[in-house]
Amino acid sequence: MPKTNGTLGFFENVNRSFDRAARFLTYPEGLLKQVRTCNSVYTVHFPIKTQHGYEVISGWRVQHSHHKAPCKGGIRYAPEVSEHEVKALAALMTYKCALVDVPFGGAKGGVQIDPNRYTPDEIERITRRYTAELIKKNFIGPGVDVPAPDYGTGGREMAWIFDTYASFYPGQIDATACVTGKPITQGGIQGRVEATGRGVYFGLREACEQAEDMKRIGLSPGLADKTVIVQGLGNVGYHAAKFCREGGCRIVGIAEYEGGIYNPRGLDVDAVLAHRRETRSILDFPGAENIRPSSDTLERECDILIPAALENQITEANAPRIQAKIVAEAANGPVTAQAEDILSARGVWIIPDVYLNAGGVTVSYFEWLKNLSHVNLGRMGKRFEQSAFDRILHTVERLTDTWLPEAERRSIVHGADEIDLVNSGLEETMITAYHQIYEEWKGDARIPDLRTAAFISAMKKIAVSYMELGIFP
């Protein structure tokens, strides 16, 4: 979608961030152009018979970068999906993967449907046909392009994609690695469902530990007692809110498409979710104030605002009224370029999407590795670790004549299983990536913000990959 009334589109917003970062790099113009350009765009149209009659379904798969193989990126089902949006999301995936040192090129897919209008059987037929179209053009495969869930899709759709791919390639030993975000029984990995939200928490926690930055915006270090508003109670928003609450934050506001709720004393996220399942709305939650329109919730008082819905939620129209001191971008592109300029001028600290929501692709990488190795994480070492810890603890107990209760002993000698390793790997990834970005930012006084620093860090890694391939000198 092109510019409208002077407002940049989603893809233009991403490229604007790229161009800002490019000013601080000395690579040849041709190399930077290669990094910036979408490599392949595939558009599909196919007929499906539904309860509404025959419909022609439109979809896209964009491979933004081939500097690493395979490409990686989710598939979005939404009525607003367009080629422009999918290109923007694919570009973000390229930079996101590079930032967290996941060896994938960026990709993204989209199908232009409202899933609420279709039965599960129709969704399955649409998903399988879309997958078949990708197979025809070699746009899916364990070493080619590996989709994952995104807005409007989940484990169910990923299982259908895997099954369709496997039926086209019977006997392919690595077929399960053609897609990630699958159910556990279909080769998925523990921790993938909550990975993006957990990654948001890890990234936000690390950012808030920086005392100098917190002092600059008038907050104390750490997450304890911070007030938070979350936009979106889907998978990412729910888990981000849940982990932040467990980390000491107070969730004071939640926004959904039907409206928002606000309670300065705090909201129980699980209770709100249960209320929504029962009433099909978060509105009228006991003890909370209803807010309409939903977007007004974002303007209420809080320390941290977590937009975890769709792009372009904070614009030049509402940015002057945002009261949060930190905007943590759990969604892709929730803050427009014009809004970012307004927020930055007001001293609001933005933790960018290209870093903060990378938890999903990080754990997808772990799932892909699990599928290629054909062994559950932790299976080979868990009992060995447990036995070694037990022997060490027994020696300490014997030498000190101090014997621990059995429950405490079991907790200490516990060997790492899959979920332990996944969460540990995700935490390490988010912490390491944050400090790489932070060093870029603090290492050059000209770099204005974390987003520019994140793009610089990512672009350096991608450029090095192209140079090592011999494509550029």
The domain ranges of the chain are 39-97+104-185, 189-381+416-473
What is the C-alpha to C-alpha distance for residues 334 and 350, in angstroms, rounded to an integer? 11
Q: Is 460 a catalytic residue?
A: no
Q: Give DSSP secondary structure letters for 52-86.
A: TEEEEEEEEEEE---SSSSEEEEEEE-TT--HHHH
pTM across the whole model: 0.93
Domain 39-97+104-185 matching CATH 3.40.50.300: the answer reads no
Angle in degrees, CA 196, 103, 97, rounded to 5? 40
What is the C-alpha to C-alpha distance for residues 23 and 460, in angstroms, rounded to an integer? 12
- For residue 410, name the pLDDT band (cuts at 50, 70, 90): confident
Task: Check residue 194 and report its DSSP letter.
Answer: T
Q: Identify the three-state secondary structure at position 30.
A: helix
Domains 39-97+104-185 and 189-381+416-473 share a fold: yes
Mean pLDDT score, 429-454: 96
What is the C-alpha to C-alpha distance for residues 67 and 350, in angstroms, rounded to an integer? 29
Task: Render pLDDT for 103-158 as a digit per residue (tens, 0 to 9).
Answer: 999 999 999 999 999 999 999 999 999 999 999 999 999 999 999 999 999 999 99
Angle in degrees, CA 237, 358, 354, rounded to 5? 95
Which residue among the candidates 87, 96, 108, 226 is catalytic per the annotation? 108
Task: Render pLDDT for 308-367 as a digit per residue (tens, 0 to 9).
Answer: 998 889 999 999 999 999 999 999 999 999 999 999 999 999 999 999 999 999 999 999
Domain 189-381+416-473 matching CATH 3.40.50.720: the answer reads yes
Q: Identify the three-state secondary structure at position 451.
A: helix
Radius of gyration of the chain (CA): 23
- For residue 383, name the pLDDT band (cuts at 50, 70, 90): confident
What is the C-alpha to C-alpha distance for residues 78 and 156, in angstroms, rounded to an integer? 16
Residue 413 confidence (pLDDT): 87
Residue 3 confidence (pLDDT): 47
